[in-house]
Amino acid sequence: MSTSSVTHTATILYEFASKQGQVAVVKLDPPLAGHEFVVSSAVDLDFGLTSMFPDMSTCETYLFPADPAEVGKKSRKIDHLVSDWGELPGSVKDVKDHRAALAEAGYEVRP
């Protein structure tokens, strides 16, 4: 009996810095939850509250659906790129790493 596996690949199209951290615009094959393009947002969350709330996350990497038209324009404005602020599977707390979030979603990043 032969077993075939589906390869889920992610290609980082471009990256840029935002006010809160790093942003990567990614093309996924196959699409994730119907989205071919996603925004990976890796941000610091330490607002000086970790001493009061030691269990508070200090960083996170979230995946959001991206607007294909804005991706085509190579927009560097996260508010324009994100088409829906509902986080997608793969979003992770306590990790600031695009590849880790994409791996959590089941994708391997192509160089």
Tell me, what's the pLDDT at 1?
Answer: 40
| Residue 81: both structure tokens together | 């790129």
Distance CA 34, CA 108 (A): 18
Tell me, what's the pLDDT at 68?
Answer: 97
Tell me, what's the pLDDT at 4?
Answer: 40
The answer to whether residue 34 scores a pLDDT higher than 70 is yes
The answer to whether residue 2 scores a pLDDT higher than 60 is no
Distance CA 59, CA 46 (A): 7
The answer to whether residue 5 scores a pLDDT higher than 80 is no
| Whole-number average pLDDT of the chain | 89
N residues, the chain:
111
**pLDDT tens-digit map of 62-108:** 999 999 999 999 999 999 999 999 999 999 999 999 999 999 999 99
Task: Report DSSP letters for 47-74, one per residue.
Answer: SS-TTT-TTS-SEEEEEEEB-HHHHHTT
The model carries a pTM of: 0.85
| Residue reference for tokens 């200090």 | 58
Q: Where are the domains of the chain?
A: 9-110
Distance CA 77, CA 14 (A): 12
The answer to whether residue 57 scores a pLDDT higher than 80 is no
